[in-house]
Amino acid sequence: MTTATLNNQGLKRVRMRLITAVIVVFTLTCSGSFGMEDVISSSGPGFTLLLIIVLPFLWSWPMAFVSSELGAAIPEAGGLYRWIRRGLGEYWGFQGGWWWTLSLWVDSAVYVALALDYLQNKYEFDGTTRAIIGIAIIALFTFINIRGLDLTGWSLTLIQIGVMVPFVIFTIMGIAKGSGSPTEPFLGTDSFWTSLNLGLAIMMWMYSGYESMSTLAGEIENPQRVIPRALMIGTPLVIITYFFTVLAGIMAAGDGNWANMWTGGGGIDFVEAAKIVGGNTLAYLMLISAILSNVGLYAGYLATGSRPSFQMSRDRLFPKFFGATHKSWGTPWAAILVMAVINAVLINFEFDALITIDVFLLMFAYILIFVSVIVLRRREPDLPRPFRVPLPTWALTIVVAIPSAIAVIALFINGVDWLIGGLIGILTGPVAYLIFKSAYRGVTDEALEGATVTPNGQLTEFGAEVEGGRA
């Protein structure tokens, strides 16, 4: 099978360079450090820098490693949905795919809204203009995504150059000219636990997304090799980026001004910090970086967030039209378009309640991923794993138990309203399953689920190549 051909589901596989894959991973998991300002003012300068270094080993590294192992063993369209289904069955596979998809439908709209907030604060246009610009952004990246992953990859590369060049300049100037102490005070409050609770939820969100690229495995040549390598390179890049940009931000804000660092206006965000050390020119460049950061996140999550619904449709657990592929470009155009329409509606609403449900859904999907990797280790020990976490199963169980516990703790530390709203979101999963299972019956595709995938994207079963991708 060559790059120009379509696989058994009508999806076109593209040749993605490793550097492009790393940029996609970086976009989905970082895309600049905007949002870290709120952690600084909540948790304190020293504690924020410590969290940036420590939390990845407890939260993002386990997900990166687990996603690499599962993505290499089961490199199928839909990614995490297929992992959970393989490990825990159709019901839980649907729950994970449904919760994660709903979360991404909301999450991606938030990024467009944030980009519009930066533009509106700068140029003070009215609500109608805001809506037109928002729809134009969505329409542009909808076309790019439908056109193919190759064009999406190039777009994200250009966007990340625009994001990181101002950050590099700011980091150098902030460290060189700033007067703020990066370690004093260490905590944002007198209580360690209060400082931890205030910043943990934001930091978990900032260190999320490592499972996202797996949903594109059905459209990338040699995903077993490309995606794990991109995750192993991209993960430390995110840590380095967060650490040095936050260090520069604390120093640029000035002595004692860490408590005034937050986003949303009235405080010292990265744009204002850039103005302190670099004047209006650097502030303007950082504003462009902030807008591009959110636009890049939207473009990336529009691509990844649309794929699980496509695969669930192909498995007859979702409306049929979600499974349509473009005849020329080989992309799941209907799933992308539906997500874009939902985004266009959501950007006009307040996000506080929606974000509550969004994070809650994501945490439950993460727990299912961690459970699935252990179940598959035990149930299918001989499953080919081109990338394998270099730990015995008992040790991996301990490793994934830590982020699972963090996810559970995070569900209960943000108040009763947050807990109730999240649980309501979770309960939509069983209801949706009953509706779609009754309507479409579901299907167990033995040829696909019991197969492995060759580097060229063809399926093999019991060591023999399956012609056309199916037995």
Tens digit of each residue's pLDDT (9 = 90 or more) over 337-356: 999 999 999 988 766 666 66
pLDDT for res 5: 41
Looking at residue 125, its pLDDT comes to 87
Among 7-11, 242-246, 394-398, the minimum mean pLDDT is found in 7-11
Helix (H, G, I), strand (E, B) or coil at 329: coil
Confidence grade of residue 454 (pLDDT, cut at 50, 70, 90): very low
What confidence category does residue 449 fall into, taking pLDDT thresholds of 50, 70 and 90?
A: very low
Examine the pLDDT at 176 and tell me if it is beyond 80: yes
Angle at 227 between CA 64 and CA 315, to 5 degrees: 95
Give the percent of the chain with pLDDT over 90: 69
Residue 458 reports pLDDT greater than 70:
no
d(CA 176, CA 331): 47
* 62-81 CB burial, b ≥16 within 10 A, e <16: bbbbbbbbbbbbbbbbbbbb
**pLDDT computed for residue 445 by the predictor:** 52
User: What pLDDT was estimated at residue 70?
Assistant: 96
Over residues 75-94, the pLDDT tens digits come to 988 999 999 999 999 999 99
User: What is the mean predicted confidence (pLDDT) over 394-414?
Assistant: 88
Beta bridge partners of 459: 453
User: Tokens 């120009």 correspond to what residue?
Assistant: 4
- As a whole number, the mean pLDDT across the chain is 88
Q: Where are the domains of the chain?
A: 18-469
Element (H, E) at 460: strand 459-461
Rounded Cα distance, 147 and 363, in Å: 31
Look at residue 190 in the predicted model and tell me its pLDDT: 75
Q: How far is CA 89 from CA 76, 106, 259, 319, 385, in A?
A: 16, 26, 48, 20, 20
Please say whether the beta carbons of 17 and 254 come within 8 A: no
Q: Rounded to whole angstroms, how far apart are CA atoms 365 and 343? A: 21
Do the Cβ atoms of 293 and 31 come closer than 8 Å? yes
Contact 318, 332 (CB under 8 A): no
Q: Say if residue 185 is preceded by a cis peptide, omega within 30 of 0.
A: yes
∠ Cα 462 314 141 (to 5°): 115
pLDDT digits (tens, 9 = 90+) for 308-337: 999 999 999 999 999 999 999 999 999 999
Residue 465 has a pLDDT of: 39
Buried b / exposed e along 10-46 (16+ C-beta atoms within 10 A)? ebbbbebeeebbbbbbbbbbbbbbbbbbbbbbbbbbb
Structure tokens at 340: 């874009």
Count of C-beta atoms within a 10 Å radius of residue 350:
8
Residue 94 to residue 321: CA distance in whole angstroms: 17
| pLDDT range class, residue 2, cuts 50, 70, 90 | very low
Q: Kindly report, residue by residue over 250-303, the tens digit of the pLDDT.
A: 999 998 899 999 887 788 999 999 999 999 999 999 999 999 999 999 999 999
Q: How far is CA 81 from CA 47, 77, 197, 312, in A?
A: 35, 9, 30, 8
Radius of gyration of the chain (CA): 22
CA 450, CA 372: separation in Å to the nearest integer? 16
| 3-state DSSP of 205-238 | HHCCCCCHHHHHHHHECCHHHHHHHHHHHHHHHH
Whether the per-residue pLDDT at 450 is higher than 60: the answer is no
> Has residue 16 got a pLDDT over 80?
yes
Q: How many residues comprise the chain?
A: 471
More confident site: 13 or 91:
91
Taking residues 427-453, report their average pLDDT. Answer: 76
Q: 147 versus 2: which is more confidently predicted?
A: 147
Instruction: Say which CATH topology domain 18-469 has.
Output: Amino acid/polyamine transporter I (1.20.1740)
Q: What is the pLDDT of residues 234-257, one digit of tens each?
A: 999 999 999 999 999 999 999 889
- Residue 422's pLDDT band, with cuts at 50, 70 and 90, is confident
State mean pLDDT over 347-371: 81
Residues in Cβ contact with 240 at an 8 Å cutoff, skipping those fewer than 6 apart: none
| Residue 354 confidence (pLDDT) | 64
Residue 415: pLDDT band (50, 70, 90) is low
